[in-house]
Structure 1
């Protein structure tokens, strides 16, 4: 049986000294990395600064070349070349301004038409459920004459008065009164009933039934106009 004997020198000594050394090494490494990172940031800023300077220098160089060409052309008596250069420059600026103006004018036209249609619909007392459809219908008919928005040669307001007092009366809320006649949008009697007649009522009876569900007053006025008091 062999006994293992340890000498004092062969026994590892564990104390705080080793840990302290390792900590100091780690801190030193962190400091080294921080210094390296700071240097990289500084180098990055310097590189960006150099890039900006290079870009500015290139622009200044191009400007200098163009100026030198103009001076050289002047000295050589080449006025046409200078004129061409200036015309090209001014044309680009003018085209840009025209494009901006066209965009602004187009937006202004749209706003004016939208407002005119909205006012016409409001004044004509269009039934709420029909507003979107009527807006779309009027928009499709708008044309421009000498820069003005028109429909069939009339202003949107004038056309709308005529339309909603005749064929467009189907979209208009009937005034609340109990008389046999209904005042139209143009102030005349019965015109708000549109083109409803004794002759075409039979073919439009389904349409009348739909109106009766949504607007009984208008349906009543139509029935009175075409002599169908039995429906009231």
Structure 2
């Protein structure tokens, strides 16, 4: 009636976004996530709309079926903090799943464990965790080694180095410390860095490339002496 467009916020305007089998979405949809993940905002019709804080994107990929999928571009993979492989649950966990789902799905009765204010406070506390200079040098030595490796076409970006430092601070905070240790970095080198590198002469299957990338990161880490 007005002859005007009305802005209606879509599902991206949420605190937590779950993109199931993200490699089945079109490249245009994938690229639309880049600004949201990097800048925490959405630009539309010359207007910029901030996304709610905190803002988090969780995405899954099916590691077995590749027909009709679109591999994520390297620039988008670099936006993800970590890449994890879920795999099968242990027999004990799988048994508990069977026994606890006889009456109703436990997901339906989940209750929040933190308020938004508490979560923001914890996120702010991560920035106060101390990363000693020798640990920063250790991190950068590993990053630099990925950039000079003949096995890699492209090494870890500066964004990746910053992400690893922040992830290490977060791990230290979860462990009850106000400072980082070498073990914080060592626990995160593979999940934070392996998806940020490009292999020289990559294999045919994405699963093989992933395993090779993780193996290369482990080998590089093994060659760099951690600080005492």
Please report the TM-score for the alignment, with normalisation by the length of structure 1.
0.23
- Please identify the structure whose Cα radius of gyration is greater: 1
Greater relative CO (CA pairs within 8 A, separation 6+): 2
Between structures 1 and 2, the one with greater helix share? 1
Between structures 1 and 2, the one with greater strand share? 2
Please report the TM-score for the alignment, with normalisation by the length of structure 2.
0.23
